[in-house]
Amino acid sequence: MRHTQLFCMKRVGILTSGGDCSGLNAVIAATVKTGLGLGYEFIGFEFGWEGVLSPLQYRPLTRDGIRGISYTGGTILKTTNRGRFGGKVGEGGVRMVPTEVLEEAKRNLAELDVHALVVIGGDGSLASALQLARIGVNLVGVPKTIDNDLCATDRTFGYSTAVEVVVESLDRIHTTAASHNRIFIVETMGRNAGWIAVRSGVAGGADAILLPEFPFAVPDLVEFLRYRQREFGSSVVVVAEGARIKQRLVARDLGRGEVLLGGVAYELLREIEVIAPNEFDVRCTVLGHVQRGGSPNPADRILAKAYGVEAMHMVHRGEFGRMVAYDSQKMVSVPIEAAVGQLKLVTESTMEYVVARELGVFVH
């Protein structure tokens, strides 16, 4: 039975903030479709939080405007992880958004007659959203990160697709490694948490998996690679971009507490060569942003749509200052604080980690 518009038309704003990932458009489409049936209208703010600030950047979101977008990658609303609304610094740190910026956003939303705002973002975007909610803006959060490191939710959309991309790459790299008796170091995304690396590494048959949660010593890895070289002739090493070599993070300081990660694979190659000069034939592959792009796989499409449907129902029920969470095969509502207070990390009891250890993978 179709819902009829029994209520006055209330306006809901939607924005996507932070890095893009597969499934964002599916969340947008599901939110709008659900809300239209409940009697709401929609506008989408472009380029994340910047679209809510002056000069305003927004567009109407209609049924025709969101038709056919669920299977596409990226976000039709554009996004940015830079700007005046940055609310996260590194691992667990929170930057306070200036009061005048928060007040400007609140004022602009009021002038546009926005009843509620749906914010689709990761820990940084949701940390900012929480500050806006605390000054009286009706707001619902949707967790978004391919790193799968947000607390209070079992899984985030985009993660499954990213893992699938890495596994396909590993399948291809294994054949080249074996053909040439080479060692391949494959760098994945994962700033503070190694979920992509550990899950794709186990699924893709990696021989070593290096994670941010477990600092490692290069000499130990070299000894393992020597064993592999004697017994099998080739090895594939998966390393998350935030992996720490002897407690040292390979990163470039961008100022304001921000760092640009990446390059750990090449740093690892250099250190291996210092310890074992000319002993191995080593190559590096940095997968980078291919993990973010492209169409979401079926699991992420379904998950993203479920997030969008529940986000709209939370708006309709007036459950503001809260986030949609996936818990034990169902969607629930949790305080945003529960998601941004700390990161969800890989531990020694994580299923994939345990499996890797049991299978003889060098996992650190």
CATH assignment of the domain containing 282: 3.40.50.460
Say what the pLDDT of residue 259 is. Answer: 46
Tell me: pLDDT of 302 over 50. Answer: yes
Under 8 Å between Cβ of 240 and 189:
yes
> Tens of pLDDT along 44-79?
999 999 999 999 999 999 999 999 999 999 999 999
Say what the pLDDT of residue 8 is. Answer: 62
Say what the pLDDT of residue 250 is. Answer: 52
Structure tokens at 303: 């998950």
Q: Helix, strand, coil proportions of the chain in percent (round to 5)?
A: 40, 25, 40
> Tens of pLDDT along 136-179?
999 999 999 999 999 899 999 999 999 999 999 999 999 999 99
Q: Both 236 and 321 in a single domain?
A: no
Q: Both 93 and 191 in a single domain?
A: no
| Residue 363 within a domain | no
| Residue 360 within a domain | no
Q: Both 176 and 279 in a single domain?
A: yes
- What is the rounded distance in angstroms from the CA atom of residue 213 to the CA atom of residue 71? 33
- What is the rounded distance in angstroms from the CA atom of residue 235 to the CA atom of residue 208? 8
Number of domains in the chain: 2
Tell me: pLDDT of 94 over 70. Answer: no
Say what the pLDDT of residue 182 is. Answer: 96
- Residue-wise over 209-242: b if at least 16 C-beta within 10 A, else e? bbbbbbebebeebbebbeebbeeeebbbbbbbbb
| Residue 5 within a domain | no
DSSP code at position 290: G
| Residue 1 within a domain | no
Domain boundary pick from 230, 259, 293 = 293
Collapse the DSSP code of 188 into the 3-class scheme (helix H, G, I; strand E, B; otherwise coil) and give the result.
strand
- What is the rounded distance in angstroms from the CA atom of residue 107 to the CA atom of residue 100? 10
Tell me: pLDDT of 256 over 80. Answer: no
DSSP code at position 151: T
The H or E element that residue 41 is part of is strand 40-45
Which structural domain, as residue segments, surrounds residue 116?
10-157+296-340
Q: Both 336 and 233 in a single domain?
A: no
> Tens of pLDDT along 276-301?
999 999 999 999 999 999 999 999 99
Place of tokens 């948490």: 193
- What is the rounded distance in angstroms from the CA atom of residue 254 to the CA atom of residue 12? 35
Q: Both 124 and 192 in a single domain?
A: no
Q: Both 181 and 231 in a single domain?
A: yes
Place of tokens 């969008």: 308
Tell me: pLDDT of 88 over 60. Answer: no
**Identity of the residue numbered 165:** V
| Residue 240 within a domain | yes
Q: Both 169 and 268 in a single domain?
A: yes
Q: Both 182 and 280 in a single domain?
A: yes
| Residue 2 within a domain | no
Q: What is the pLDDT confidence band of residue 86, given thresholds at 50, 70 and 90? A: low
- Residue 285: Cβ-neighbour burial (10 angstroms; 0-12, 13-18, 19+): middle
Say what the pLDDT of residue 93 is. Answer: 56
| Residue 47 within a domain | yes
Q: Which of 20, 123, 147, 207 is catalytic?
A: 147
Structure tokens at 73: 């990658």
> Tens of pLDDT along 220-235?
999 999 999 999 999 9
Could you tell me which residue, 3 or 197, shows the higher pLDDT?
197
Q: Both 235 and 312 in a single domain?
A: no
Tell me: pLDDT of 240 over 90. Answer: yes
Q: Both 196 and 262 in a single domain?
A: yes
Could you tell me which residue, 363 or 82, shows the higher pLDDT?
363
Q: Both 120 and 186 in a single domain?
A: no
Q: Please, what is the average pLDDT of the chain?
A: 91
Q: Both 252 and 323 in a single domain?
A: no
> Tens of pLDDT along 304-356?
999 999 999 999 999 999 999 999 999 999 999 998 878 999 999 999 999 99
| Residue 80 within a domain | yes
- Residue 7: Cβ-neighbour burial (10 angstroms; 0-12, 13-18, 19+): exposed
Residue 154 falls in the annotated catalytic set: no
Q: What's the CATH number where 127 sits? A: 3.40.50.450
